[in-house]
Amino acid sequence: MLKTKLIRKVISVGLCATIGFTMLGFGQAAPVSAAVSSTTKANNIINSGKKYLGVPYKFGAPSGITYAFDCSSFTQYIYKKNGIKLPRTSKAQATKGYKVLKGNLKKGDLVFFKVPSRTGNSIGHVGVYAGNNMMLHTFGAGGVKFTSLDTPHWKKNYVTARRVIS
């Protein structure tokens, strides 16, 4: 009986100490290293994409080619190079990861837009948030490029963002 009480007391004190240390910020190295890891992965994805600046845009470009991209083949390609598998279309990519508010964007988040010339208001374009309110994407003249999210066209047609980097 005395031995059982002692064991309970030791467990209780240990549990309280663990909770207390956690509340004070001790023992939280894992989230910090996870943040560093996701930041590194995001930078690697953006750096992978930068290698293709100026590569022409071609609607419907097949997966895996690098002489031309459409928006979703581009994101699919550069994320795959960094160990993240994405579906082929922007609409399907918009179902992956989890939703992020525009005010909480981080490098590496996918940003999605509607294309007014297409019927319906569904998602028709994707880019990679590159920080400082810029996205890396491919669309129209100039091919792969950086564009401000404040550009009137993109600002007006913004739909959502998804975080797929864990």
Of the residues 41, 125, 162, 163, only one is catalytic, namely 125
Coil/strand/helix, residue 130: strand
Of the residues 46, 71, 161, 165, only one is catalytic, namely 71
Is 16 annotated as catalytic?
no
Distant-in-sequence, close-in-space partners of 11: CB < 8 Å, separation ≥ 6: none
Is 137 annotated as catalytic?
yes
Based on its alpha-carbon atoms, the radius of gyration of the chain, rounded to whole angstroms, reads 22
Of the residues 46, 61, 75, 137, only one is catalytic, namely 137
**Burial profile 13-33: b = 16 or more Cβ within 10 angstroms, e = fewer:** eeeeeeeeeeeeeeeeeeeee
Residue of 43, 26, 1 whose CA lies nearest to 131: 43
Quote the DSSP letter at residue 57: B
Is 153 annotated as catalytic?
no
Distant-in-sequence, close-in-space partners of 62: CB < 8 Å, separation ≥ 6: 73
- What Cα–Cα distance (Å) separates residue 114 from each residue in 22, 48, 61, 126? 44, 25, 19, 9
Catalytic residues: 71, 125, 137
